[in-house]
C-alpha cells in the first residue's frame, strides 16, 4: 500500500502511529466517509471524494455512506426528497471516478442490533458531550433538537456496523470522531483511526462558509464550464496563499488528479507557463510572477475539464439535484 498516497492532503491523522500500524499489516484495510445527501454535490464535497480516490488507488476498501437518516435528523429536508436525491449523489461520485461500496444508511440503521448499539452509546455519553460534538455540523446549533444529539451516536454506531478500520471526513467531523474513539470500545467496537481532510474555502473567502444553499459560495460538480469560469473569475483571490479559494482548488482538487496546471497568457505578460507542482505555483504567485486573473483563468479551465466526466455521466444518466419541497 502506498503510505504517501493515503496520507497526502490531510489536515489531521488520529493517530499517525495507528495508521502506520494498519498500513504495515498484511490484511485489507477498509475506510468510509459519510455524506448528508442534501443539495447539489459541490467541489467542497469533491475534496473528500478525491481523498477516497487516493484510498482506492492505494488499495484500501472504500465505502461511501449516503446518510439519509442523518440528513433528516439534521433537519436538511423531508424523507421523500432525501430519498430522491441519493441517486444523483451516487452518479456524481461515480462520474468523478470513485469506485466504492455505496451504502444507504437506512438499509441497516433500523436493525435491532444497530438500535441497541445507539442506545448503549447513549448510556455512555453525556448530553453536553454529544451536543458539543455537533458544533460544526448541526443546523441551527443554538436551537438544537433532540434528533441532532442522536446524530453523533448513530455516526459512531455506523463505524461499528460497517466494520471499517478508518473513519474519514472533513475537519468539521473531528469532535464526532473523537467521541466515537472514546465510546465504541465500551460497546464492543474497535477504536477507529480517524483521518480528516481540510475544508475548501468558500469562493467568497474564508469568512463565508461554502454551502450548497448559497450558490455564490460554491461550484456544483455538474455545473457548466461557462458557469465555472464566471464563478471563479468573481472569486476572492488575494495575492496570498492563506484563505485563497482559487489556490485551494489547485492544491486540493486539480494537482492531486491532474498533476499539472497550464497557464495561457500573452507573450507580453510572460507567455505560457506550465506548473508540475502546487509548490511551484504557490511560490510564483507569492512572488507576484503570476497575476490573479491568469491564475483564475487557468484554474477555471482545468476545473471545467476535471469535472467534464461528471457532467457527461450525470447527463447521460438523466439525474439532477431536485429541489426540496
Q: For residues 40 and 49, give the distance between their C-alpha atoms in angstroms, rounded to a whole number.
A: 14
State mean pLDDT over 59-63.
97
Task: Say yes or no to pLDDT of 91 above 50.
Answer: yes
One domain for residues 264 and 160:
no
Please tell me the total count of domains within the chain: 2
Question: Is residue 319 situated within a structural domain?
Answer: no
Question: Is residue 186 situated within a structural domain?
Answer: yes
Task: Say yes or no to pLDDT of 139 above 80.
Answer: no
Question: Is residue 318 situated within a structural domain?
Answer: no
Look up the domain containing 245 and give its range.
224-306
CA-based nearest residue to 136, from 74, 91, 190, 188: 74
Task: Say yes or no to pLDDT of 322 above 80.
Answer: no
One domain for residues 171 and 249:
no
One domain for residues 47 and 186:
yes
Mean pLDDT for all residues in the chain = 94
Question: Is residue 204 situated within a structural domain?
Answer: no
- Long-range (24+ apart) CB contacts under 8 A made by 126-132 are 129/179, 130/179, 132/175
Cα–Cα separations (whole angstroms), residue 257 to 55, 79, 160, 219, 276: 13, 35, 31, 17, 12
* Peptide bond between residue 15 and the one before it cis (omega within 30 degrees of 0): yes
One domain for residues 138 and 184:
yes
Residue 38 pLDDT? 86
Q: For residues 253 and 60, give the distance between their C-alpha atoms in angstroms, rounded to a whole number.
A: 20
- Read off the pLDDT band of 324 (50, 70, 90): low
Question: Is residue 317 situated within a structural domain?
Answer: no
Task: Say yes or no to pLDDT of 307 above 50.
Answer: yes
Q: For residues 283 and 274, give the distance between their C-alpha atoms in angstroms, rounded to a whole number.
A: 13
One domain for residues 9 and 57:
yes
Question: Is residue 207 situated within a structural domain?
Answer: no
Amino acid at each position: 500500500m502506498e503510505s504517501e498516497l493515503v496520507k497526502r492532503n490531510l489536515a489531521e491523522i488520529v493517530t499517525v502511529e495507528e495508521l502506520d500500524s494498519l498500513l504495515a499489516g498484511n490484511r485489507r484495510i477498509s475506510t468510509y466517509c459519510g455524506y448528508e445527501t442534501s443539495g447539489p454535490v459541490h467541489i467542497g464535497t469533491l475534496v473528500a471524494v478525491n481523498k477516497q480516490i487516493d484510498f482506492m488507488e492505494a488499495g484500501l476498501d472504500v465505502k461511501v455512506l449516503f446518510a439519509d437518516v442523518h440528513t433528516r435528523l439534521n433537519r436538511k429536508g423531508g424523507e421523500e426528497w432525501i430519498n430522491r436525491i441519493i441517486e444523483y449523489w451516487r452518479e456524481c461520485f461515480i462520474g468523478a471516478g470513485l469506485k466504492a461500496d455505496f451504502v444507504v444508511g437506512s438499509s441497516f440503521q433500523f436493525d435491532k442490533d444497530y438500535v441497541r448499539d445507539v442506545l448503549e452509546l447513549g448510556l455512555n455519553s453525556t448530553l453536553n458531550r454529544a451536543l458539543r460534538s455537533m458544533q460544526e455540523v448541526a443546523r441551527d446549533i443554538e436551537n438544537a433538537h433532540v434528533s441532532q444529539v442522536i446524530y453523533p451516536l448513530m455516526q459512531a454506531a455506523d463505524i461499528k456496523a460497517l466494520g471499517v478500520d478508518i473513519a474519514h471526513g472533513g475537519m468539521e467531523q473531528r469532535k464526532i470522531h473523537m467521541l466515537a474513539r472514546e465510546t465504541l470500545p465500551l460497546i464492543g467496537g474497535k477504536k477507529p483511526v480517524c483521518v480528516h481532510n481540510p475544508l475548501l474555502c468558500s469562493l467568497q473567502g474564508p469568512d463565508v462558509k461554502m454551502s450548497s444553499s448559497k450558490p455564490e459560495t460554491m461550484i456544483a460538480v455538474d455545473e457548466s464550464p461557462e458557469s465555472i469560469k464566471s464563478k471563479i473569475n468573481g472569486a476572492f483571490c488575494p495575492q496570498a496563499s492563506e484563505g485563497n479559494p482559487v489556490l485551494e482548488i489547485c492544491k486540493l482538487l486539480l494537482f492531486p488528479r491532474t498533476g499539472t496546471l497550464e497557464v495561457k497568457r500573452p507573450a507580453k505578460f510572460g507567455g505560457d507557463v506550465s506548473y508540475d507542482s502546487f509548490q511551484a505555483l504557490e511560490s510564483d504567485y507569492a512572488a507576484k510572477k503570476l497575476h490573479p486573473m491568469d491564475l483564475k483563468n487557468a484554474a477555471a479551465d482545468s476545473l471545467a475539464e476535471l469535472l467534464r466526466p461528471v457532467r457527461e455521466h450525470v447527463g447521460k444518466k438523466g439525474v439532477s439535484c431536485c429541489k426540496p419541497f
